[in-house]
Amino acid sequence: MNLDYLANLAEITSGIIVVVTLIFLVIQIRSNTKALRATAIENFYNGYLEVTADANRVPELATASQKAFTGQAMDRTDNHHLCVYVQRTCSIIERGLIMVTKGILDQESFDLATPPAEMLLVTPAGRYWYYFLKNERGQFRPELHQWLENIYAEQDQQTALKESATSNRDDGPEADTNAETNTEINS
């Protein structure tokens, strides 16, 4: 009977040890996952900050960026600097989109980092260089293409609405009738 008793005790003990080990593993996996996500977010932000800091650190890039934002004519050197800057910016955004797709980076953290990239990429020069890199060089993944196409579609829609509103103000006699109606209402 002693051997049976010891065998049962050993079986119960080994079951408890297995459960404790599994709990420990779950806790370790969760903490490692959190640490990996935190590191991924930090690396994404650091990479993005490094790229955007170049616009302030490199005088030629600062000049090219300023010309792109103000719509000024650019020479070959400006275009080269801006093309490389657009490529680096798109690569960082692409990395972030992949991280969002894989569940490493949450959408909110990604969205907080993207406004400077959007500001650059919606300029006519930024848009030109993105399409050049996409169509002529075959760069970037579908995630980036979809993200940017959505931004460009929204920008085009806003531009069309502004043009429509402007053309409605310049409609001639109808505009005069509306002005008379507004004057009568205000009187």
* pLDDT, the chain, mean: 86
> Is residue 28 a part of any domain in this protein?
yes
8 Å CB contact between 67 and 78? yes
Does one domain contain both 26 and 55? no
Q: Please tell me the number of Cα atoms within 13 Å of 174 on its side-chain side.
A: 5
Does one domain contain both 9 and 58? no
Does one domain contain both 134 and 78? yes
How far is 113 from 46, CA to CA, in rounded Å? Answer: 11
> Is residue 4 a part of any domain in this protein?
yes
Does one domain contain both 58 and 90? yes
**Res. 169 pLDDT band, cuts 50 70 90:** low
Does one domain contain both 59 and 110? yes
Does one domain contain both 70 and 146? yes
Whole domain around residue 7: which residue ranges? 1-33
> Is residue 179 a part of any domain in this protein?
no
- Count of CB atoms within 10 A of residue 64's CB? 25
> Is residue 125 a part of any domain in this protein?
yes
Chain-centroid distance of CA 169 in Å reads 36
> Is residue 183 a part of any domain in this protein?
no
> Is residue 65 a part of any domain in this protein?
yes
Task: Give percent above pLDDT 70 in the chain.
Answer: 89
Does one domain contain both 67 and 148? yes
Does one domain contain both 47 and 138? yes
How far is 130 from 72, CA to CA, in rounded Å? Answer: 18
pLDDT digit string, tens, across residues 22-58: 999 999 988 888 888 888 888 888 888 888 888 888 8
Does one domain contain both 87 and 121? yes
> Is residue 69 a part of any domain in this protein?
yes
Looking at the structure of the chain, the number of domains it has is 2
> Is residue 86 a part of any domain in this protein?
yes
Tell me the whole-structure pTM to 2 decimals. 0.71
Does one domain contain both 24 and 79? no
pLDDT at 184 exceeding the cut of 80: no
Rounded to an integer, the average pLDDT of 73-81 is 94
